[in-house]
């Protein structure tokens, strides 16, 4: 991903567009075929150092490329960049680069999805405590967590595919989008250029391809980054010493702290959470780039040299890190079991309430009975089942020997196994 946004790669993408433009002109008779051949050969000889040297003199990066390419075309150099404006080349090249970057991002996400699917199926029956508002709620499974994230990644893949159709476009329409410089052949030239580059031609532009397209891509990357953070934050919290149900991989020689030798900091997960803020921040900049003045101004140009590359590279890195964490995720079954029992059975209050209701106690009455019983158990530091065994209204409907079975967390995970299998597909 880094290489895709290097200066050498940018220069090559500009060259691809210039060659495609020359080929289109040649096909329509606007320049000799030999001119297009020379431009294509010359494009392979242009060196970045020469382009930067010219740019230092003229202070225009695209025109520096045009001059450098012209130097490599001694006979037909006058046809280089014929009829085009800078952003015909730059925006079309950006469409090329983003299409390729999305393809790379798609592969990363597909890897994430594969890992999450494997984890979901492997842990579809690993019962753990669910937490809402930071409090123990009811039993769930680790398979449910992974399946939830799996489906979120699937939505990101759909969004990326949709965004690709809107960003994989280019223009060859001149200074204000009118195609005047192409002397009546503008639409044909644009169609031919985009066909050669496997891009779609923009239906209408001003001097630039409209920036809602680019903002959409960066927003999708921010959504992916947010999911990475969501997963990483959950791992961080579950790795707390007092919870310690799962943990990110920790090497045998890895150091957690320069002063506290015992530390096992989840720094890789923390890094993901930190970088997500950066990717989200770039969306605001991309949105600001949409309302350019009149047929365009240059206020988008400088920041786009950072936000496009940064958002793709950072999100790609986050996914790479997350995939490594998930692949080596460590589980601590004894702590999972300990935490399930931490509240002395209070997390099964809902189940008892539902059971009492099914046996003809009013739902609100059953709720109040369990609420006050849970408070009593907490105050007396007793198990909830021991408090209920003293309640005649409970024993009237549920036998003592039945009550113990109702307090087994593994028997109260509902349809979670089926939910997981349907969400990710059975093995």
Active-site hit among 60, 103, 198, 257: 257
Distance, in Å, from the CA atom of 129 to the CA atom of 9, rounded to the nearest integer, reads: 50
3-class DSSP state for residue 204? Answer: coil
Rounded Cα distance between 404 and 399, Å, is 9
Integer Cα distance of 161 and 411 in angstroms? 41
Both tokens assigned to 343: 């509240």
Catalytic residue among 59, 133, 258, 294: 133
Catalytic site residue 133?
yes
Among residues 174, 168, 206, 196, the alpha carbon closest in space to that of 187 is found at: 174
- CA atoms in the 13 A half-sphere facing the CB of 11: 22
Q: Which residues contact 24 (CB under 8 A, 6 or more apart)?
A: 172, 188, 189, 192, 193, 196
Cα–Cα dist 405/139, whole Å = 15
| Contacts of residue 171, Cβ cutoff 8 Å, sequence gap at least 6 | 87, 88, 91, 92, 177, 190, 201, 202, 205, 208, 209
Residue 136 a catalytic site member? no
- List active site positions: 133, 257
């Amino acid at each position: 991903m880094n290489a895709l946004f290097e200066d050498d790669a940018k220069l090559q993408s500009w060259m691809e567009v210039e060659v495609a433009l020359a080929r289109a002109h040649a096909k329509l008779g606007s320049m000799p075929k030999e001119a297009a051949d020379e431009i294509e050969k010359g494009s392979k000889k242009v060196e970045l150092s020469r382009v930067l040297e010219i740019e230092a003199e003229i202070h225009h990066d695209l025109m520096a490329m045009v001059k450098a390419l012209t130097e490599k075309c001694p006979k037909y150099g006058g046809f280089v960049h014929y009829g085009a404006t800078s952003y015909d080349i730059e925006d079309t090249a950006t469409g090329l680069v983003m299409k390729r970057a999305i393809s790379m991002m798609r592969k990363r996400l597909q890897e994430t999805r594969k890992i999450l699917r494997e984890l979901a199926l492997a842990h579809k029956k690993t019962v753990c405590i669910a937490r809402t508002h930071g409090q123990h709620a009811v039993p769930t499974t680790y398979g449910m967590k992974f399946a939830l994230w799996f489906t979120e990644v699937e939505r990101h893949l759909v969004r990326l595919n949709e965004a690709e159709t809107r960003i994989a476009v280019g223009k060859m329409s001149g200074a204000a989008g009118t195609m005047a410089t192409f002397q009546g052949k503008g639409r044909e030239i644009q169609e031919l250029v985009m066909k050669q580059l496997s891009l779609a031609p923009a239906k209408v532009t001003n001097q630039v391809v409209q920036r809602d397209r680019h903002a959409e891509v960066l927003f999708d990357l921010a959504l992916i980054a947010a999911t990475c953070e969501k997963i990483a934050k959950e791992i961080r919290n579950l790795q707390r010493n007092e919870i310690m149900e799962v943990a990110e991989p920790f090497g045998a020689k890895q150091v957690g702290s320069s002063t506290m030798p015992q530390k096992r900091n989840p720094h890789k997960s923390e890094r993901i959470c930190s970088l997500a803020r950066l990717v989200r921040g770039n969306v605001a900049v991309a949105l600001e780039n949409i309302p350019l003045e009149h047929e365009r101004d240059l206020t988008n140009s400088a920041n786009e040299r950072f936000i496009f590359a940064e958002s793709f590279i950072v999100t790609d890195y986050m996914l790479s890190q997350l995939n490594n964490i998930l692949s080596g995720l460590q589980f601590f079954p004894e702590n999972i079991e300990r935490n399930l029992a931490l509240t002395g059975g209070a997390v099964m209050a809902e189940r008892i309430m539902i059971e009492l209701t099914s046996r003809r106690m009013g739902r609100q009455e059953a709720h109040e009975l369990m609420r006050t019983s849970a408070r009593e158990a907490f105050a007396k530091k007793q198990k909830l089942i021991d408090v209920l065994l003293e309640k005649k209204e409970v024993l009237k409907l549920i036998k003592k020997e039945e009550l113990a079975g109702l307090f087994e967390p593994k028997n109260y995970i509902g349809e979670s196994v089926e939910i997981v299998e349907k969400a990710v597909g059975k093995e």
